[in-house]
Amino acid sequence: MATFALIHGGGGSAWDWHLLAAELRGRGHDVVAVDLPIEDESAGLLDYADAVAEAVGDRRDLVVVAHSWGGFVGPLVCARVPAELLVLVSAMIPAPGEPPSDWWANTGFEGKDMSDPVALFLHDVPRELAEELLSKSRDHADKAFAEPWPLDAWPEVPTRFLLCRDDPFFTPGFMRGVVRDRLGITPDEIDGGHAPMLARPGELADRLEGYLAGRS
């Protein structure tokens, strides 16, 4: 069995993963999900990675799973602790020296109407879950947005990317190009919107176990 370290996206929390965590634990895996210190004005990207690494401790057979903005943190964790696999789920892919705030222009991301976050991020999440997620949203301090991504190169860990076919925010066509250009791989795909951990936790757990077994 594996240990899954689950890294939430911008404004999120460990709660975002609670359905997936239950699925994985029910299959015999260990799960580590932490609240990144995103509200701490003094915390930067390395502090975020440290929070995950400290929670992982000496666990082994580690699979790091990063969602959305958490893509800036997942590789940093893999550079700190031994990991068997890194899985990016509808995630941002950083380049060496790139501040997260520059990612949008550097990748050619087209701005979106943010007035309806449910439609943009949570359209296939059950309404009560979507409302609870929004009620738990946290402010994200500026430091980690502005500082350069600190690695010189991608960590030497097998990496998979899972994009969401019905994601109105990180649309499939856009993300296929980013994954090709930045990782040099073809992404895998899953149905649904930006938050499969809440909309499709069982299917996402199937995918993660498939990666672990080398089946898909």
Tell me the pLDDT band of 173, cut-offs 50, 70 and 90.
very high
User: Is residue 167 within a helix (H) or strand (E), and if so which, with residue range?
Assistant: none
Whether the pLDDT of residue 215 is over 60: the answer is no
Residues in the chain: 216
* Mean pLDDT score of the chain: 96
pLDDT at 216: 46
Which amino acid, 42? S
Tell me the pLDDT band of 31, cut-offs 50, 70 and 90.
very high
- What does the alpha-carbon distance between residue 151 and residue 206 come to, in Å, rounded to a whole number? 31
Number of domains into which the chain is organized? 1
DSSP letters spanning 173-199: HHHHHHHHHHH-SPPEEESS-S-HHHH
> What average pLDDT score do residues 131-150 get?
96
Whether the pLDDT of residue 156 is over 80: the answer is yes
Determine contact, residues 3/29, Cβ cutoff 8 Å: yes
CATH code at position 121: 3.40.50.1820
> What average pLDDT score do residues 122-142 get?
96
> At a CB cut-off of 8 Å and minimum separation 6, what does 93 contact?
71, 161, 178, 179, 182, 183
Q: Which of 142, 133, 139 is nearest to 39 (CA)?
A: 139
Dihedral (Cα; 26, 206, 190, 169), 10-degree rounding: 30
Q: What is the pLDDT of residues 32-45, one digit of tens each?
A: 999 999 999 999 99
Whether the pLDDT of residue 51 is over 60: the answer is yes
> What average pLDDT score do residues 119-137 get?
96
- What does the alpha-carbon distance between residue 31 and residue 21 come to, in Å, rounded to a whole number? 6
- In this prediction, what percent of the chain has a pLDDT beyond 90? 95
Question: And the tokens for 125?
Answer: 């999440």
Bridging pattern class, strands 159-164 and 62-67: unpaired
Tell me the pLDDT band of 214, cut-offs 50, 70 and 90.
confident
Question: And the tokens for 30?
Answer: 């260990």
For residue 181, the enclosing domain spans 3-213
Q: What is the pLDDT of residues 61-117, one digit of tens each?
A: 999 999 999 999 999 999 999 999 999 999 999 999 999 999 999 999 998 888 999
- In this prediction, what percent of the chain has a pLDDT beyond 70? 99
Check residue 210 and report its DSSP letter.
H
> What average pLDDT score do residues 171-197 get?
97
pLDDT at 112: 87
- Is the backbone of residue 4 left (phi > 0), alpha (psi -120 to 50) or beta? beta
